[in-house]
Chains A and B, each alone.
Chain A
Amino acid sequence: MQLSELQIDYIKELFNVGLGEAIVELNDMINEEILMSVPSFDLFEKNAIFSKLQIESSRNVTAVVLPIQGEMECNGILLFPAQHSLNLVRKVLKETSGADTLTALEVESLTEISSIILDAIITSISDMMHVSISTAMPMAYSGTFQDLVDKYYVGDTVMSVGMHFEIKDSQVRGDILFVQDILVIEDFLEKTNQMLSELGL
């Protein structure tokens, strides 16, 4: 499925607006400046995910999954390389040291932070596209990438948005993934085109 540059720009903008909201909310919470950006966007079939994200199937990952219901049913997933999730949480919580894996309470915080980001993005999408979306409880996942894909990648198409955090000189990389049926994607793209034409583009 080929997207025009215009479509891609629009979608990236949706995400950027969402991230902007998330940053405001997170900054209020943690009283620490966070920078976030969306450097990449891609759309591919589910089975291409390993090569596209360049993550080996056996690699351990940490992820937060937000089930999205309503007019755009899918799973929103924020995926971190293991060490990056650790960095993110410890920086946000201002913890200087600790075990080399996340504790249960830290996982909860990661879930909260991630869900705030994901929520802000889908709010941005639903606002701009006038679609009604609700969410269920976010869930944390820790395990191999293969298991994550098997468990939560319910659709056949993946919309992938690269994301980059910067907190207190620490670089954290993550991927926002929306996994959905091709029908949902087509619907999403149609709405995108509709928006673009409403804007006279």
Chain B
Amino acid sequence: MGKSNTSPEYLIEAINRTDVGMIVIDSERRILFINDWIKIHATVEGAVEDKFIHEVFPDLPPRLNKAMEKALSLRRAAILSNKLNPAPFPFYRDKQSLTERTLISQVVKIKPINVTEQFCLIEIIDISESVNRETALHQLASEAQLKAEQIEAQEKRIRGIFESVKDAIIIVDAGGSIQMFNHTANELLNSASTSLSNINLHQFLKDKNKPLSDENGGVNQMAAMLPLWAKYADSIELEVTPSGQDGSFFAELSVSTVELSEQRHFVVVLRDITERKQYEQQLETMAKFDELTSLPNRTLLMDRIQSAIGRAKRFDNNVAILFLDLDRFKIINDTLGHDIGDKLLQSVSTRLNEGIRDLDTVARLGGDEFVILLENLEHKEHAARVAEKIVTLFEPAFDIDGHQLFVTGSLGIATYPESGETAYDLIKCADTAMYAVKDSSRNNYMFFSEKMNENAKKRLELEAELRIAVKKAQFSIVLQPQLSPDKKILHGAEVLVRWYHPTKGFISPVDFIPIAEDSGFIEQIFDSVLGQACEFLANYKHVLPQHFRMGVNISPRQFISDTFTQRFMAVLTRYQLDTHFFELELTEGMLMKRTDETISLLRTLVDKGFVISIDDFGTGYSSLAYLTRFPLHTLKIDRSFIVDLPNDEEAALVCKSIIGLAKNLGLNLIAEGVETEQQNQFLAAENCDVIQGYYFAKPMPVDEFLVWLDAFNAESL
């Protein structure tokens, strides 16, 4: 080697032809030899032999310099790997890579050579191909890895959604065999521990209570149904039976088609709707049944009546509606409490249900009102037999929490087609008939008649007119004097109300007072009457006798009102009148209810200075024991006893007894409706204190009364 160049020519040629670059340097780092590879790939111009290597390649890295140093001084071999030293020498493959400044990727091996003196061989191996290949592979690998990571992340996300939804998601193949399912699906369908995979979905489903079993071709049915469901149904409600379980639940399924691995699959989303179903059922029950008694309510009753009417039309038979209202139920509720009242209603429901045919319906409209619907009746008289039976059903006492309660009912009966053609009409007619029973006797039944309807209509009309009358103050007072039988002393006058209707004229209190009482207008009417009476007193008390007293009728409704006394007193204050001007006329019926409370109320009134009298005495029921306990002042003998005096012995006897009773109890007596002289004489003879009636004077408007008073005063002078 070197300048001496004694080597054979072939050896030089071989070295020049290798694909490895070779540089030999001496211990002073002068280049002794480079092969053709170096000449081809280096950019160095001219001869390099004998030049220092750092002159030819001025920018060699320190690592290479150090390796050469070690090889020369310590005879150490070294390798410079490409990754740590990508291109220690400035070698280029060709012109193009030179212009692009793309260096050859190299591995450099430094080998000490000890021949005559210490030399060093530097081998440069072109590994550009390997580097490119590895770079490409690495890039591919990282791309693939990135892709895999993305897919994994996406799958994780989708899986997360898939698993976290509260609906069961099941993917089945075209035949219904389960391929994939989420956690919820497993929970809903799989109480056994076996996997759902490859089980056919039909095994869980029931349609209209029929399981889609293998025997009835469940698999085929499934394969046929799935595409139809997917195409035409938004959702299907089915019963689902989980594996390993007898019970089932209601589910809503929605099915859609999906292509997986180029094959048709179905995504079945299954939702447990048990709760919703229960809720719906509850709502339906609430809408159709009465909560307290579980009987059908008005809505369901109307439905049933309507269908019954339909059937009756087709089969030409009868339908009857029995409207039942318990008599005096309110008293039980008021005195024993709603709890007992509710329990009584429940017991009544039970008795009613037991007493009728299965085909008939007992419904509760509310309160103490029940309706019994009887269908398919051959004769409408049959309804009367049922009504009778219901009346007898109430005969035994109801035992409610130890209270023996006797309840009766009033029944109104309406029949199709006679009473009406619609459910609404039938109920209305039965209701009217029921009221007719209440008005007459109670504890009885009555068929609806047109007359009832007319009465009811009249009543309604009157009620409407009362409303207007109250507003327009169409009420006025009349006064009927109360005198001693010898007509010498004017004790007072009873205040009576008159309603002058603008078109109908005078309307009798007998007709409108009960309606006013029911509708609550009585209070406004009373206020008006009392106001007018007070005005009269305020204006004319100077011409009236000192002990003059006005008799005022108190209605039951007012009497039980908590504010009665307070309101009365307020009016008196307004007119600056004393209570002793007033005699409050009550009926026996009012006194005999809630006697303890009544006594205390009466005491309050008497303490305030009012005088209490019993009106229409003898027509109601009075307990004599109570009579002694009430702070009463006067008894008013009812006109019905006076009218037959004096010839009717019985009437005379009753009057004498009442007068005797009053005397014995120290009570005053007023006889009402005295029309004849004989009657007056009789009463005078029996020491009756006060006479009221046409015999002395009819009830008169205020101005007329004043004229009468003038005459009376003149006469007594």
Contacts and interface: CB of A to CB of B under 8 A. Distances in A.
A25 B66 contact: yes
Nearest to B80: A112
Contacts of B138: 98, 103
Contacts of B81: 105, 108-109, 111-112
Contacts of A134: 74-77, 112, 114
B79 A98 contact: no
A34 to B, nearest CB: 13
Nearest to A96: B142
Contact of A137 (B63, B70, B79, B85): B79
Interface stretch (B127-135, B510-518, B548-556): B127-135
Interface string B59-85: 000110010001000111111111111
B82 A126 contact: no
Interface in A41-96: 70, 92-93
A138 B79 CA distance: 7
A134 B77 CA distance: 8
Band of interface residues on A = 20 to 34
Q: Which of A108, A132, A136 is packed against the most chain B CB atoms within 10 Å?
A: A108
B141 A136 contact: no
B83 A93 contact: yes
Contacts of A92: 84
B111 interface: yes
Interface string A11-28: 000000000000001001
Contacts of A119: 70, 76, 78
Contacts of A126: 74
B83 A109 contact: yes
B132 to A, nearest CB: 11
A170 B359 CA distance: 90
B83 A106 contact: yes
B115 to A, nearest CB: 14
B265 interface: no
A1 interface: no
B201 interface: no
A93 B134 CA distance: 15
A115 B111 CA distance: 13
A30 interface: yes
Contacts of B141: 98-99
Given A111-B81, A119-B76, A105 B63 contact: no
B130 A28 contact: no
A104 B79 contact: no
Nearest to B74: A123
A29 interface: yes
B107 A108 contact: yes
B380 interface: no
A93 B82 CA distance: 11
A123 B74 CA distance: 8
A104 B138 CA distance: 12
A135 interface: yes
A59 to B, nearest CB: 25
A111 B131 CA distance: 17
Contacts of B62: 28
B282 to A, nearest CB: 61
B130 A135 contact: no
Given A97-B142, A97-B145, A30 B76 contact: no
Nearest to A66: B77
B72 to A, nearest CB: 12
A113 B75 CA distance: 18
Contacts of A135: 75-77
A71 to B, nearest CB: 12
B63 A28 contact: yes
Contacts of A116: 78
A7 B142 CA distance: 51
Interface in B345-363: none
A112 B79 contact: yes
5 contacts: A93-B84, A111-B81, A112-B79, A115-B77, A126-B74
Interface of A: 25, 28-30, 70, 92-93, 97-99, 103-106, 108-109, 111-113, 115-116, 119, 123, 126, 132-138
Interface of B: 62-63, 66, 70, 74-85, 107, 109, 111-112, 114, 127, 130-131, 134, 137-138, 141-142, 145
Given A109-B83, A137-B109, 12 more contacts: A28-B62, A29-B84, A30-B84, A70-B75, A104-B130, A111-B79, A112-B78, A112-B79, A119-B70, A119-B78, A134-B114, A137-B111
